[in-house]
Amino acid sequence: MQFLGMTGHFGLGNTNSLASIDVAGAFIGISSYSTVLSGVLMFIITYGSPLLLYLGMVVHMSVKDSNDISTPQQWSSVLSRMIALPCLLPLLVNSIALTSYTIVLLLMRNHLFVWSVFSPKYLYVCAATVCTYAGVLVIAMTGAYTCAVLSFRTRNYRDKSVDQIDG
pLDDT of residue 151: 79
Residue 64 placed within a domain: no
Among the listed ranges 48-57, 66-75, 138-147, 150-159, which one has the minimum average pLDDT value? 66-75
Residue 7 placed within a domain: no
Residue 89 placed within a domain: yes
Range of the domain at 48: 38-58+75-166
DSSP letter string over 32-88?
S--HHHHHHHHHHHHTHHHHHHHHHHHHHHHHTT-S---SHHHHHHHHHHHHIIIII
Position 163 confidence tier, pLDDT thresholds 50, 70, 90: low
Q: What is the end-to-end Cα distance of the chain in Å, rounded?
A: 54
Residue 122 placed within a domain: yes
Residue that wins the pLDDT comparison between 66 and 164? 164
Report angle CA 136, 2, 96 to the nearest 5 degrees: 70
Q: By the 8 A CB rule, do 79 and 150 touch?
A: no
Residue 121 placed within a domain: yes
- Total domains in the fold of the chain: 1
Q: Averaged over 36-40, what is the pLDDT?
A: 88
Residue 33 placed within a domain: no
Residue 132 placed within a domain: yes
